[in-house]
Amino acid sequence: MSVLVGKKAPSFSAKAVVNNQIVENFSLDQFVGKKYVVLFFYPKDFTFVCPTELHRFQDELEEFSSRNVEVVGCSTDSEFSHFAWLNTPKNKGGIEGVNYPLVADINKTISEAYDVLAGTADVNEAGDYEVEGEMVAYRGLFLIDLEGRVRHQVVNDMPLGRSIRECLRVIDALQHFEAHGEVCPMDWEKGAAAMTADHAGVSAYLSK
């Protein structure tokens, strides 16, 4: 598994569904210098854990927006699958009401670039194409800063849903550091004391 933290987020241009419309060339480049991005990958449309995550991101979209963060989802499904799922009612397993972008990584190049693609594909000695496992995305999540650099990543196996609270906490920590130059200790929450990155700062924090 590649560690992308500290590196430029891999660039891509792909089809996506945005505001219930299919767009041809969606890219994260449009947000550089303007917005932070939370890019999250999920395995498949029309599944079970996935809609709980997609709906929760939608429920908390105002919290992300208040932090100047764009939420973008991505799976290896087609744009047509995304569109159909977005137009399926929630009580029938759909994600109707979700209005942040969903990227179609049908060629699996984006998942591969972010190193969240499960399964492997290769050509054997006979020249036959062999695939081991399902070629879908793990539950990867990447926080990308205003300069387009990855500042946080987490990757869960497919049965393990993520935490919106932790995602927001890490955004708050990054933005606190950027605004004040203070580092954020274990379990830091917005509004709590942070510390300077030196021995005096650590001693002062631990003595509280």
H helices present in the chain, as ranges:
49-59, 61-66, 79-86, 109-113, 164-180, 199-206
Specify the length of the chain in residues: 208
Concatenating the DSSP letter of every residue in 30-44 gives GGTTT-EEEEEE-S-
Task: Give the integer Cα–Cα distance in Å for 28 and 176.
Answer: 23
The 10 Å CB-count burial string (b at 16+, else e) for 18-41 is eeeeeeeebebeebbeebbbbbbb
Q: Which of 50, 74, 167, 184 is an active site residue?
A: 50
Coil, strand or helix at 73: strand
Residues 6+ apart with CB under 8 A from 205: 185, 193, 194, 195
Catalytic residue check, 50: yes
Put residue 68 in one of left, alpha, beta given phi > 0 → left and psi -120 to 50 → alpha. left
Return d(Cα 15, Cα 177) in angstroms, integer. Answer: 35
Residues annotated as catalytic (active site), given as ranges: 50
